Structure 1
Amino acid sequence: MTRLPIEAFLSFVAVDLALVFVPGPDWLYVIARGLGQGRRMALIAVAGLLLGYLTHTVLAVAGLAALIAANPATLDVLRYCGAVYLVYLGVRLLMAARGSADEAHSAPVHSALTVLRQSALTSLLNPKGLLVYLSLLPQFIREGSDLPETAQMALMGITHVLLCGLVYGAVAFGTGGAGDRFATRPNTARRLNNVAGVLLLAIAGVTGLSGVVSW
C-alpha cells in the first residue's frame, strides 16, 4: 500500500482554487451582503456558506450525496427551493431600500445568527455543492493508499471549504469595507441595498431557470 500521493492532493488544490477564483453566484451573494450590510455581515455570510459546504462534505463522505444526486427530482426540488429562498432575501433587501434612509442599511439584518442561518441554508439548498464532491473529488482519490478513500474525500472536502473561506473572505472584506463606508451616506446606502437585492434576484433567476449552476 502507498500513502496518498502529494501530487494528487496538490493537483486537486490547484484545480479547486482555480474554480473558486472564477466569479459566480457565490461571489455575487457575498458581494450583495457586503454592499448591503457591511463587512461584518459579509464575513458572517461567508461563514454560513462554509457551514453549508462542510455539511456537503459530511454527506459526501457518508455516501448520501450520491443517493441524492441519483434522483433528479430531488435535485430539482433543492434547486427551486434555493431559488425561492434567494428571491425572499432579495425582496427583503429591496423593501428595506424603499423604507427610510436610516433603515436601509440595517433593516434586513436582525442578528449575526440570522445572517449565518440564511447563508448556510442558501448553500445547503444549492445541489451543485453536492455534485462538486461527486464530479471533482473522485478524480483525485487514489485506491490502494494508506489513507482510506472516505478519509481522502474528507481531506479534500475540508480543503475545499478552507479555500472557499480564503477567497470569499477576501471578497467580503473588500466589498464589505465599501458597504461600511457608504453606510454613513443614507441615499447611497439605499442604492446599495437596491443593488444587493437585484443581485440576489439575479442569482435566483440563474439557479431556477438554467438548471444546476456552478457556485
Structure 2
Amino acid sequence: MDVQLLLACSVMMTLMVLLPGPDWAYLIASGIRERSILPSLAGILVGYLVAVAAVAIGVGAVVAALPGFIVGLTFAAAVYLTYLGVRVLREPPVVVVAAGPAPSDVVGAGDARDAASARPWLRLLQGAGVSGLNPKGLLVLVVLLPQFTDAAGAWPIPVQLAVLGLIFVAACALVYSVVGFGARTVLRLRPSAMRVVSRVSGAAMIVLATVLVVEQAVHLIRG
C-alpha cells in the first residue's frame, strides 16, 4: 500500500476517535464504576474488529446500499445507550475506603444486587454492543475507509480494507485506554467529583442517544 495513504488514514482515524461519542461515555462510566476497564475496553475493540472483518469481506458494500439498516442500527444504538445511561444515573459509583493502607476502590451502588455487572465476560459483551451498535463507527468503516484504498495497488482491496480497519482499531485502543484509565486516575485523586462525573457520563449517554435519533429523524424527513 501507498505509505502516504496509510499516514493519511492514520491521522484521519485518530481524529475521528478523538471526537467524543458513545464509546467515550461508556468507557468513562466503566472507568469510574469498575475495578478494571480492560473487559469493557476489550469489548469495544472486539465490536470494531468484527465490523472490520465484515467490511473486508464485502459486507460493508451491502450495508452501504441498505440505508434502512443504518436507520435501524441507529435506533437500536439509541435504545441501548439510553439503557446504559439510566443505569449509571440510577446506580452512581461510590468510594469505599478500606481500612489500612489499601487504596480506595470504586464500586457501583447497586453492585450487591447486580453482581452480574462485575462479570468480565458480561462487560466485554456490553462493550461489543456499544461499538457494534455505534452507527458513526460503522459509517467510518463502511464509508470512509474505502476512500483510502488504491485499486491499482499491489494488495487486494479486501486486504487493504483489513489493514486500514486495524489502524482504526489501534487508534481506538490507544485513545480509549487514555480515556478510561485517565477517568479512573483523576477521580481517585478527587473522590468528591465521582458522583458529579458519573451523572455527567450517564446524562451524556442519554443525550448522545437523543442526538442519534434526531439526526436520523431529520434525515428521514428530508429524504
TM-score (norm 1): 0.82
Q: Tell me, yes or no, if structure 1 residue 80 matches structure 2 residue 75.
A: yes
Q: Does 2:6 correspond to 1:9?
A: yes
| Aligned residue in 2 for 1:40 | 36
In the superposition, relative to structure 1, how do residues 80 and 204 fare at CA in structure 2: closer, same or farther (>3 Å)? same
Q: How many residues align?
A: 203
Displacement, 1:153?
Answer: 0.6
- 1:181 to partner: Cα distance: 5.1
Structure 2 counterparts to residues 1-215 of structure 1, below 5 A:
4-35=1-32, 37-38=33-34, 40-41=36-37, 43-97=38-92, 103-104=108-109, 106=111, 109-180=117-188, 189-211=194-216
What are the ranges of 5 or more consecutive residues in structure 2 without an aligned counterpart? 97-106, 218-223
* Aligned residue identity for 2:74: R
Q: 1 CA distance for matches of 2:201 and 2:8?
A: 35
Post-superposition Cα deviations, 1:71-112, rounded to whole Å, max 9, x if no partner, equal: 12211111111111111112222222399x975274663322
Say if 1:38 and 1:179, in contact at 8 Å, map to a contact too: no
| Range moving further from structure 2, 166-175 or 109-118 | 109-118
Go from structure 1 to structure 2 and tell me whether the alpha carbon gap of 1:80 and 1:133 turns closer, same or farther (over 3 Å shift).
same
**Pairwise CA RMSD of aligned residues?**
2.7
Rounded to whole Å, the distance in 2 between the matches of 1:33 and 1:209 is: 26
Q: Which amino acid aligns with 1:49?
A: I
Larger displacement relative to structure 2 (194-203 or 59-68): 194-203
Superposed CA offset, 1:42-87 (max 9, x none): x432221111111110110111122122212211111111111111
TM-score by length of 2: 0.79
Alpha-carbon distance in 2 for matches of 1:137, 1:75: 17
Q: What is the rounded CA distance, in whole Å, between the counterparts of 1:22 and 1:98 in structure 2?
A: 25
Does structure 2 conserve the Cα–Cα contact (< 8 Å) formed by 1:39 and 1:177?
no
Change (3 A) 1:111 1:178: farther
